[in-house]
């Protein structure tokens, strides 16, 4: 599986923006990449079109997935539950030291 590395741009006051302002900032200022990896294609062959957008402010990290597909499932609404059973995306963030990472998995309705 190909590793993708993105340089996450700084966007001042990202957390203070209105929803429309946030959306515009993510469209215009964030780093974007296609996420076209399926880890278990034999078991889960469905591979919808997916784009990740990332940016950060002094205190927040913004990660936005845009997913298009005819068969998306989003039923889990409580964070920390079984989002992997829904249509979901994962984001792995590697610290600059290369020793620590964080992993976020969220379903198509925003549940972590």
pLDDT given at position 78? 96
Would you state the pLDDT for residue 2? 66
Query: How many C-beta atoms lie closer than 10 Å to residue 86's C-beta?
Result: 19
Report the pLDDT value the prediction gives residue 30, as an integer from 0 to 100. Answer: 96
Residue 1 has pLDDT above 60, yes or no: no
Distance (Å, whole) CA 89 – CA 70: 16
- pTM of the entire structure? 0.79
DSSP 15: G
Burial class (CB in 10 A: 0-12, 13-18, 19+), 83: buried
Reported as a single tens digit per residue, the pLDDT across 24-80 is 999 999 999 987 777 778 887 777 888 999 999 999 999 998 888 888 899 999 999
Domain boundaries, the chain: 1-69, 72-112
């Amino acid at each position: 599986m190909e590793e993708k590395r993105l340089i996450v741009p700084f966007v001042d006051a990202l957390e203070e923006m209105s929803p429309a302002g946030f959306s515009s900032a993510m469209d215009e200022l964030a780093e974007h990449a296609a996420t076209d990896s399926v880890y278990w294609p034999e078991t889960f062959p469905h591979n919808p079109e997916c784009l990740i957008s990332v940016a950060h402010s002094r205190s927040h990290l913004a990660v936005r997935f845009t997913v298009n597909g005819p068969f998306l499932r989003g039923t889990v609404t409580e964070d920390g539950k079984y989002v992997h059973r829904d249509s979901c995306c994962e984001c792995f963030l590697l610290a600059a030291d290369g020793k620590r990472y964080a992993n976020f998995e969220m379903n198509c309705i925003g549940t972590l």
